[in-house]
Structure 1
């Protein structure tokens, strides 16, 4: 089954975005973990999740318009 070039681009962009999100979450955990996630780390984690949702929505809009 051949995948079209545009679909490969959409898959690649999505995988990169998820990889950056996972790296960010691991980085926050490594930075703020002191026998449990401190309050600042919790806020950073919530901010990272909110940013991920907004970025993925933006990517979805960008990819739907470019097709």
Structure 2
């Protein structure tokens, strides 16, 4: 049975405001955005690399006579 591919993490919902010609988010939303970029995406990339290696091993084993 093939391993299940990891799912791409959902981008966090952020509440944007516009003040003095700048778009802004709250500190809580900034933390959500940083967590997404610094933790969730690298973890996904790591899990995806593992998935690709597992699939490669399976395909290699299946191609052997």
TM superposition score normalised by structure 1: 0.49
Report which structure shows greater RCO (CA 8 Å, sep ≥6).
2
Structure with bigger helix share is 1
Structure with bigger strand share is 2
Q: Which one has the largest radius of gyration?
A: 2
